[in-house]
Amino acid sequence: MCSASNQILQGVLPVLQTPFTEEGEIDFPVLSAEIDWAFQTGADGVVVAMVSEILRIGYRGRRELAEQVCQMVGDRGTVVISVGAESTAEAVGFAKHAESIGATALMAIPPVATSLGAEASRAYFAAIANSVSIPLVVQDASGYVGASIDLSVYLDLLKEFGAERILFKPEASPLGPNLSKLRDATSGSARIFEGSGGIHLVDCYRRGIVGTMPGTDLLDGIVALWKALQEGDEDRIYSLSLPISGLVALQLQAGLDGFLAIEKYLLKRRGLFPNTLQVQPVAWELDEETQAEVDRLYARMQASL
C-alpha cells in the first residue's frame, strides 16, 4: 500500500504509460521499472490517468493497475489515481477504492459520452469529493477527450470544499488565458496543475501553477525545465522548452492516440519498454516521417540536458 496520502501534491508528477505483454496483459515488471526510473529521474510522484489507457483496460484492469502502482511507489512520493467514469456511481466506486489502497489524491474528468451542463458537472464532481477524504483534482481534458468544464463549476467546488480538497487541471484551449481566469477568479487560492505534456509549461508556470503532469517519455527534460523555471534560468528554460514543445506538438496532432504512440515509442527507445503495444483499436499510428522528426527533436532535448 502507498503511504504517501499525507504528502502535499505539487511539482513534477508524470502520468504513467501502461506497458503490455504480447498476450495483452499489463506488464507489471516493466511498470515497476518505469516507476523506479521516474523517481530516479526526479519525479515528485506519479499519476494513473488518460494516457495510462484507463478508459480502455476495463473495470478490473483499472483497479488492478491502481493497486499495483500504489504498492510499487510505497513512500517514495505521491500517487494520483484518475477515477472519472461514465456514471457517478462508478466514479465514486473507483474513488473509494483508490482511497482504500492509499492514493494521495484522485483526479477525474467528466463523462466522455455525455456533455453535461454546469449543474450536472458540479453534482458529479461533488459526489466524488464527498465520497472520500483525500483531495480531488478536477480535470478538463477537452483538448483531446471529453467536454470542457465551465468556470462556475470550478468556483462552486472550491467554495464548497476548499483549496486543500479541490485542485484543478484545466486543459481547455486557450490554456494559458483560461488558467489565468481561474487564478484571478479565486484570488490566487486555486491550486492548479498544467497538463499539456509540457508544450505550455513555461507559460503556465509564469501564471502560477503548483505542478505539472507530463508523460514519462520526456520526464528528464521536464524535470530539468521545472528546475530551470524555479531558478529563473532563461537561457536553459528555452533551450529545453523548444524541443519539448516540438515533440508535444507532434503528439497533440493526433489527440490521445498521438500521445500514446509517441510516448510508447520513446519509452521503447529509452530501453524502458520492450514494445509499443496499445489497447486496440486506435485511430492513429506512428508513421516513419513523424518518427524521424520525433528522433530529431528528442536528440535536441538530450543535447540540452
**CATH class for the region spanning 11-232:** alpha beta
Per domain, the residue ranges of the chain are: 11-232
Is the pTM higher than 0.75? The answer reads yes
Strand order, beta sheet including 11-12: 11-12, 211-212, 193-194
Q: What is the DSSP letter of 210?
A: S
| DSSP code string of 44-78 | SEEEESGGGTTTTSHHHHHHHHHHHHHHHHTTSSE
Q: Which of 179, 104, 184, 181 has the alpha carbon at shortest distance from 137?
A: 104
- Tens digit of each residue's pLDDT, the chain (305 residues): 565 556 889 999 999 999 999 999 999 999 999 999 999 999 999 999 999 999 999 999 999 999 999 999 999 999 999 999 999 999 999 999 999 999 999 999 999 888 889 999 999 999 999 999 999 999 998 766 667 899 999 999 999 999 999 999 998 889 999 999 999 999 999 999 998 899 999 999 999 999 999 999 999 999 999 999 999 999 999 999 999 999 999 999 999 999 999 999 999 999 999 999 999 999 999 999 999 999 999 999 999 99
